[in-house]
Chain A
Amino acid sequence: MKFIKNIFDKNKPLFEKGGKFEKLMPLFETFETLFFVPSVVTPSKGVQIKDAVDLKRMMMTVIIAMTPCLVFGIWNVGYQHALATGETMTFVQQLWIGIVVTLPIIVVSYAAGLTVEFIFGIKKGHSLNEGFLVSGMLIPLVVPPTIPLWQVALATVFAVLIGKEVFGGTGMNILNVALTARAFLYFAYPSQISGDVWTYLGDKTPIDGFTGGTSLAIANEASVSGANVLESLASTNTVISADFFSFSNLFFGFIPGSIGETSALMALIGAVILVITGVGSWKIIAGVFGGAYLTAVLFNIIGANEYMLMPAYYHLVIGGMAFGAVFMATDPVTAAQTEKGKWIYGILIGILTVIIRVFNPAYPEGIMLAILLMNVFAPLIDFYIVKANKQRRIQRATV
């Protein structure tokens, strides 16, 4: 510890006012505070002691909660590769393929995003905000494994710049940064983020009878052609196994999809971590699942098309629903900020997700657009909750 401290102390003068790299102080500070908690003490007036929590720890908690999704997702890339190409591979080989494919995406996402963050940090003279540590990990988890790296870089830069920095940086943004990146890719380069892009094949050819679509796409197509959704799912990729898209596979995540989104189970583990630590709002998570389920049940009753007739609980496990509900919707900056508002916000995301999925064949994935839309409306929800608070105060005054 001592020698690390010495390195920092020795080089600090270079970055301080008048030093050679004065302008790079934010950069220096970022690394120093990564090792050592600053020796700053509370001011002489006001609270003399502070809670042990800080933003670094909070953000780290989110990253820890994402780890199950990340690890499972990495392995699943290799696993799907093995299934699609028909090769027999050991667990380690599958994991290795996953790492080779995924790691560059993660590295590019962080490198691109942190570069923008540092430039703004240096310009504004503040050290790095920890928020991007989470966004930088979320972006790789919501893209297909076959995504070109330059697109990852471009989308990340766009998201940090337009999604966050133009609004004033961390804490001021209106849209979730990772979803902004995802939406950018979706609308700018649709061919690389839809269709048969969900399974990494490398230079291998897939086995005969393999189709690379996601469960969402299959459900969508079935509905358009008037076929039963469950039967269509059951008859897809029978060459690999008879129940490739069985409910349990959908729940556990042994299916193709975005790198980190396929497993509802892993997202739920993340949800448990977020809820226990209090870092993510359980009201939002419960709201999204509840809203989606009830809407789907209602659709079951109406039953106007095949997609509407799909059992309601399937909605909770297909696509990125669980991942979005747990990690995207709960972003405290872009979600509703009042406690009642969080319920409304969550429930509306759930409702919108199912509506978009069922009625809008152009966008098979509903959760992304539902969250982005509700990000925009979150301040409006809060506005009315806060207004009610003000109203109560006025009423008390006149009593």
Chain B
Amino acid sequence: MSHTIKLKKGFDINLAGKAEKKIAECDQPETFALKPTDFLGIERPKVMVSEGDTVKAGTPLLFCKMMEDVKYCAPVSGEIVEIKRGEKRKLLEIKILADKEVVSEEFKKFSVSDVTKVEKQEVINLMLQSGVWPNIIQRPYGIVANPQETPKSIFISTFDSHPLSPDYDFTLNGEENYFQAGVDVLKKLTPGSVNLGLNGNGEMSPIFTHIKNAELHKFIGKHPAGNVGVQIHHIDPIAKGDLIWTIGPYGVVQIGKLFLEGKYDASKIIALTGSEVKTPQYYKTYTGACINKFIEHNVNDGEVRFISGNVLTGEKIKSNGYIGFYDQQVTVIPEGKNSEFLGWILPTTQKLSFHKAFGLLSFLNGKDKEYVIDTNLKGEHRAFVQTGVFEKVTPMDVLPTYLIKAIMAEDYDEMEALGIYELIEEDIALCEFVDVSKHDLQKILRNGLELIKNS
């Protein structure tokens, strides 16, 4: 059925605080938010509602003037309580005070057999107005896909290999039919194939193995084997001028539900994880949920950091902040504002390191040891000195060190030639973790992508 791709390079960061496969009993948060900052490529957001309006799940809240067809919709029904802006009136959050019972906008419904017969334009229109479209991300650049373009193929990674990542086999359990419908719909958007990257490291999830209308590829290896960018690189690499769309499994299910149920269903199961969570487990809620209810009485004392997403690509949020549109995970780890005495040289087995430089003994622990890692930079910014390390954690035929230097030098030709189109932030996040000289590589890569995109 599928062929197997073995990846040798990579690094698994085994953190303490894995979510137990159990859905917690918990009240729903009062407020939910749509954060335009979650969507790369929204440059000129236009809000379609005002404070005090009532909305249903699936009511459009905003669009971007550059791509007016793509509507960003309310995840729940309720009242718009705040439209929060930051410096220079930059739009930050549209907050909704949620109803007790979520009411949805009604969209056209299809039977399972009809889904395969819908016209492409109808599919696109429905996806655009209902709010599911932003699930589709375009490569290169990692921005929300442009509905007027046609990708050469579509990729779905069915597993997340990031630290403490949620198990889709658990969170999407029972949604097989929706997933299949979603794949059927997506197949209409590309003349090429819909590709599924399956986790070959353990027993494969039955949700994804029986999917029809798609090509299945099995990936074995450490993180970042689950990154869709890595999977694309090994199956259908992106060259200059190519266009590929990617979408997460949750997005596929959401599309499937839209067509089979006729509504924008933003309910999702999120994992609350990390060493500072007392009982790490799963919560059933909606996209854009405020995290305050989940963390109440459930977080250890001391200064902690709340992260929407995982520790490699996530974003710091406040204790009453909101989960990002694409995230299905909240991670809580200790903030590292301590200055450790002689911490740069004392031997230790407790601090995780990919390296084995003097005193870094974590490799002796074996791979089952779970680490508690705080947010300290653990060093100082320096010029590039060590070589060959980024390449060891990047299972792709790219040379991250050279690419990063080309970006810093703003050398467009060199960036292109070295494969900037194949990468987005998550693909080099491990490089940023292992970097001896502590560069903000993801930020540098984004700058490079912006330069190329705007050139």
- A127, B380: Cβ atoms closer than 8 Å: yes
Chain B residues, CB < 8 A from A337: 387-388, 401
Q: How far is the CA of A137 from the CA of B362 in the complex (A)?
A: 29
Number of interface residues of B (CB under 8 A): 75
A278 interface hit (Cβ, 8 Å): yes
- A46, B443: Cβ atoms closer than 8 Å: yes
B378 interface hit (Cβ, 8 Å): yes
Would you mind naming 16 contact pairs between A and B with Cβ atoms under 8 Å apart?
A4-B341, A5-B341, A37-B379, A46-B440, A47-B429, A49-B311, A51-B436, A52-B351, A52-B352, A52-B353, A53-B354, A53-B360, A56-B379, A57-B357, A172-B383, A332-B388
A263 interface hit (Cβ, 8 Å): no
Q: In the complex, given contacts A50-B378, A64-B358, A390-B417, what are 12 additional A-B residue pairs having Cβ atoms less than 8 angstroms apart? A: A5-B339, A35-B341, A37-B343, A40-B376, A48-B311, A51-B352, A53-B379, A57-B360, A61-B357, A171-B383, A277-B358, A338-B399
- B314, A55: Cβ atoms closer than 8 Å: no
Q: How far is the CA of A46 from the CA of B343 in the complex (A)?
A: 23
- A39, B239: Cβ atoms closer than 8 Å: no
In the A-B complex, list the 10 residue pairs whose CB atoms are closest, starting with the nearest. A54-B379, A171-B383, A397-B239, A52-B351, A37-B343, A44-B316, A36-B339, A61-B358, A337-B387, A53-B355
Q: How far is the CA of A58 from the CA of B354 in the complex (A)?
A: 13
- A52, B312: Cβ atoms closer than 8 Å: no
- B333, A49: Cβ atoms closer than 8 Å: yes
Q: How far is the CA of A281 from the CA of B388 in the complex (A)?
A: 9
Q: How far is the CA of A394 from the CA of B416 in the complex (A)?
A: 10
- B385, A389: Cβ atoms closer than 8 Å: no
Chain B residues, CB < 8 A from A36: 339-343
What mask results when residues 277 to 313 of chain B are scored 1 for a CB within 8 Å of chain A, else 0? 0000000000000000000000000000101000111
Chain A residues, CB < 8 A from B240: 397
A33 interface hit (Cβ, 8 Å): yes
B79 interface hit (Cβ, 8 Å): no
Most buried by B among A55, A131, A338: A55
How many inter-chain residue pairs (CB < 8 Å) link A and B? 216
B170 interface hit (Cβ, 8 Å): no
Residue on B nearest A59 in the bound complex, by CB: B385
- A52, B433: Cβ atoms closer than 8 Å: no
Most buried by A among B331, B348, B385, B437: B385
Chain B residues, CB < 8 A from A39: 336-339, 376
A339 interface hit (Cβ, 8 Å): yes
- B386, A58: Cβ atoms closer than 8 Å: yes
Chain B residues, CB < 8 A from A332: 385-388
B315 interface hit (Cβ, 8 Å): yes
Partner of A57, one of B307, B338, B358, B397: B358
- B425, A54: Cβ atoms closer than 8 Å: no
Q: How far is the CA of A35 from the CA of B418 in the complex (A)?
A: 40
- B341, A53: Cβ atoms closer than 8 Å: no
Q: How far is the CA of A332 from the CA of B70 in the complex (A)?
A: 49
- A48, B348: Cβ atoms closer than 8 Å: no
Q: How far is the CA of A397 from the CA of B338 in the complex (A)?
A: 49
- B443, A54: Cβ atoms closer than 8 Å: no
Partner of A53, one of B316, B353, B401: B353
B26 interface hit (Cβ, 8 Å): no
B335 interface hit (Cβ, 8 Å): yes
Main secondary structure of the interface of A (DSSP, over half): loop
Residue on B nearest A127 in the bound complex, by CB: B380
Interface residues of A (CB under 8 A from B): 1, 4-5, 33, 35-58, 60-61, 64, 127, 129-131, 169-172, 276-279, 281, 332-333, 335, 337-339, 342, 386, 389-390, 392-394, 396-397
Give the shortest distance, in Å, between B66 (CB) and chain A (any CB): 22
- B353, A55: Cβ atoms closer than 8 Å: no
Give the shortest distance, in Å, between A304 (CB) and chain B (any CB): 39
Chain A residues, CB < 8 A from B339: 5, 36-39
B434 interface hit (Cβ, 8 Å): yes
Partner of A51, one of B384, B398, B435: B435
Q: How far is the CA of A197 from the CA of B119 in the complex (A)?
A: 89
Give the shortest distance, in Å, between B314 (CB) and chain A (any CB): 6
Residue on B nearest A50 in the bound complex, by CB: B378
Q: A46-B425, A278-B356, A386-B399 are in contact. Are A55 and B385 (CB under 8 A)?
A: yes
- A169, B358: Cβ atoms closer than 8 Å: no
Most buried by A among B344, B351, B360, B440: B344
- B357, A37: Cβ atoms closer than 8 Å: no
Give the shortest distance, in Å, between B360 (CB) and chain A (any CB): 6
- A47, B385: Cβ atoms closer than 8 Å: no
Partner of B383, one of A41, A170, A335, A393: A170
Chain B residues, CB < 8 A from A53: 353-355, 357, 360, 378-379, 434, 436
Q: How far is the CA of A342 from the CA of B335 in the complex (A)?
A: 39
- B239, A41: Cβ atoms closer than 8 Å: no
Chain A residues, CB < 8 A from B333: 48-49
B200 interface hit (Cβ, 8 Å): no
B359 interface hit (Cβ, 8 Å): yes
- A46, B313: Cβ atoms closer than 8 Å: yes
- B355, A37: Cβ atoms closer than 8 Å: no
Residue on B nearest A33 in the bound complex, by CB: B380
What mask results when residues 435 to 455 of chain B are scored 1 for a CB within 8 Å of chain A, else 0? 111101111000000000000
B88 interface hit (Cβ, 8 Å): no
- A41, B357: Cβ atoms closer than 8 Å: no
Interface residues of B in 223-239 (CB under 8 A from A): 237, 239
Chain A residues, CB < 8 A from B359: 57
B382 interface hit (Cβ, 8 Å): yes
Residue on A nearest B444 in the bound complex, by CB: A46
Chain B residues, CB < 8 A from A42: 375-377
Give the shortest distance, in Å, between B381 (CB) and chain A (any CB): 9
Partner of A41, one of B336, B391, B434: B336
- A51, B358: Cβ atoms closer than 8 Å: no
Q: A53-B357, A337-B401, A389-B398 are in contact. Are A48 and B305 (CB under 8 A)?
A: yes
